[in-house]
Structure 1
Amino acid sequence: MSAPAATGPRRDAGRVRFGHVLSSEWTKIATVRSTFWTLLAGAVVLVGFSALWALAFTASFDQMSARDRATFTPMLPTQVAYYFGLVIFGALGVLVITAEHGTGMIKTALTAVPRRAAYLAAKTVVLGAVVLVFGIVVTFASFYAAQGILASKHLDGNIGDPGVLRAIVGGGIYLALVAILALGIGTLLRHTAGSIVLLFVVLFVLGIAGGFLPSSWGDTVNKFLPSNAGGAILDPVHKSGSLAPWTGLGVFAVYTAVVLAAAVILFERRDA
């Protein structure tokens, strides 16, 4: 009696399902100590600086000009605090990829997951989800920390005020996009310090430089610069000279997508 014919290999043999890659990336980000400490540092900075700036505003409100008083919103202390917190959450995005390059673990990871685009996509999804949820929670905490202090001068607001809830939820989305942008930069440069410096330039130096552009066309360019566009989501009231909140966040999302697409292309083509 002849032996049964051998069947060909299954089409998915040796392939790793995307769900498994997601699970692996979640395990990495949840168990690495740097994740905990970076998120904690981001929370302390955002909440702490929101409270600190609320104290500064209450102490100096009587000396403010009429124009500054008219533009003050209860969200302003948290908006200022965001400038200090963005780089910290961005550093997490950088470390998610550069730490693996630094230790050589990237080679082992890519041996287990040869599809590099899927590997980077899983990192992006997990990082974005973690920072989004954490960012919204921390932004809520920052807002309420500031309101408790602003109440002493009756400058406080509440979550039901126009634009406040949108600013808080949008702030969490903004942080997630910053972390993903940083992941893309880290993938491109593969060096922690260099990536964080470049992120700092993108988020802050470009915005400062934009302020020195000639007013004839500088005002138009300035509002499309990354930090100015993304930061528009934090303002409860649409201010003249800036993009509409969701439009600005959308522009920042486009910047993030372009950097991430470039990172995927380069990640696919060069050696680990």
Structure 2
Amino acid sequence: MNMLSSEWLKIRSVRSTGLLLLLSLGAILLGAAIAWMAAGMYDDATPAKRATASIAELEEVVIIVPQLCMGILGVLAITSEYATGVIRTSLTAVPRRWPVLAAKAAVVGAISLLTGSVAIFGTYFLARQVIGDRFSGTYLTPFLDRLPTLAATGLTVCVFALLGLGLGALTRSTAGAVAVLVGLAYVIPMFVGKLPSPWKDWLGSMMISALPRQISGVPFKSSVYGSSLPPAAAVAVLAAYALVPVLAGTWLLRHRDA
């Protein structure tokens, strides 16, 4: 408990934490603004255009904001200590070392899970209210039918945070870890989308943003991502994104100098 309290104090005392949280929750306002603009364009369209108009689930569009922000929070939770030298004090106080990263993972994971859930459900309910029965009833699907996908999408924010923490522990560099984080999450999927079949579908199914719908068993209407994984496999891949970097970072933390 002392380790958790210490890590919580460290994270909440850093100015960047508040800014990243505000930016993450700003995704709700972004989703509401997009919904309002889309509703206005729909209302101004001709009946023929309305009949074929469609809109993506906005919560799945704006989730990129809290994902990236909480990923950066995870990176800073460890790299800021290397930059200031505080890591030496932390490791001196905890000679076994692994509890340091475990406590950081617990605190960062809890913050990001709560933030992701608020962002995803807040965006969903606002978009549902604004869009109404427009766009062929995209937002008329019963909430309980959408709940598994929404919950899994919110969980990806926590995964990004732990991925960032693990990358930060591996690289010890804020810029380097953020670059790898962005590359893994957003750049690589663009290249995967250009690959020929069946590589496009198989590798696309492994991307983080493809996993929530595969976990809930809800197929994509139209997406660059694949959907070839069963729910259990999708859960395992999502867990691996979070656990493998953190475990690798823990091993290096124990076997190299601070």
TM-score (norm 1): 0.80
Residue 186 of structure 1, CA deviation = 0.7
The structure 2 residue matched to 1:49, chosen from 30, 43, 62, is: 30
CA distance in 2 between counterparts of 1:231 and 1:199 reads: 22
CA distance in 2 between counterparts of 1:251 and 1:224 reads: 7
Q: 1:39 to 1:145 in 2, by over 3 A?
A: same
In the alignment, what sits opposite 2:198? Answer: 216
Residue 141 of structure 1, CA deviation = 1.4
Secondary structure of 2:99 counterpart: helix
Deviation digits for residues 10-60 of structure 1, max 9, x if unmatched? xxxxxxxxx21112112222222221111111111x112212332344345
On the 8 A contact 1:113/1:119 being kept in 2, the answer is yes
- Rg bigger for which structure? 1
CA distance in 2 between counterparts of 1:116 and 1:92 reads: 21
The structure 2 residue matched to 1:206, chosen from 176, 185, 188, is: 188
In the alignment, what sits opposite 2:60? Answer: 79
In the alignment, what sits opposite 2:84? Answer: 103
CA distance in 2 between counterparts of 1:198 and 1:164 reads: 32
On the 8 A contact 1:96/1:183 being kept in 2, the answer is yes
Equivalenced residue count is: 247
Secondary structure of 2:164 counterpart: helix
Match status 1:268 vs 2:254: yes
On the 8 A contact 2:67/2:156 being kept in 1, the answer is no
CA distance in 1 between counterparts of 2:31 and 2:214 reads: 17
Residue 126 of structure 1, CA deviation = 1.1
In the alignment, what sits opposite 1:252? Answer: 238
CA distance in 1 between counterparts of 2:237 and 2:60 reads: 19
Residue 137 of structure 1, CA deviation = 1.9
Deviation digits for residues 131-164 of structure 1, max 9, x if unmatched? 1122212222111222232127374637943432
- Identity among equivalent positions (%) equals 34
The structure 2 residue matched to 1:184, chosen from 152, 157, 166, is: 166
Residue 98 of structure 1, CA deviation = 0.8
Match status 1:173 vs 2:155: yes
Q: Which has the higher mean CA deviation after the structures are superposed, 89-98 or 252-261?
A: 252-261
In the alignment, what sits opposite 1:151? Answer: 132
Q: 1:232 to 1:86 in 2, by over 3 A?
A: farther
Q: 1:65 to 1:205 in 2, by over 3 A?
A: farther
On the 8 A contact 1:210/1:222 being kept in 2, the answer is yes
Mind listing any 5+ residue stretches in structure 1 that lack a counterpart? 1-18
Q: 1:157 to 1:231 in 2, by over 3 A?
A: closer
Amino acid at match of 1:98: T
Superposition pairs for residues 84-163 of structure 1, below 5 Å?
A: 84-151=65-132, 153=134, 155=137, 157=139, 160-163=142-145
CA distance in 2 between counterparts of 1:82 and 1:245 reads: 21
On the 8 A contact 1:202/1:227 being kept in 2, the answer is no
Deviation digits for residues 164-195 of structure 1, max 9, x if unmatched? 22233223321111100110001111111111
